[in-house]
Amino acid sequence: MTLRCRDVLADSDELLEAWIACRGNQSAMAGALGCHRNTVRNRMNQLTGLLADQTKPGDPFKALLLAHLLLKP
């Protein structure tokens, strides 16, 4: 995992925790994070876009989530 990916994970901790707690429901995530649903969608798209070129074809979000869980203290 690159340093850039580690930085992205560190900056996205709250978003990923909300994704886990809300089981991916973006409306519920928005409520938990205190932002609009579209903000959640945009942040999720930015995260997956950063990993898309570093993972094999498939679902880069799964790779991001797995890395988050593995690196969590």
Question: Nearest to residue 6, comparing CAs of 62, 70, 56?
Answer: 70
pTM score above 0.75: no
Query: What is the Rg, in whole angstroms, of the alpha carbon atoms belonging to the chain?
Result: 12
The domain locations on the chain are 3-71
pLDDT digit string, tens, across residues 24-62: 899 999 999 999 999 999 888 887 776 666 556 666 677
Residue 72, CA distances (Å) to 10, 49, 65 in order: 9, 21, 11
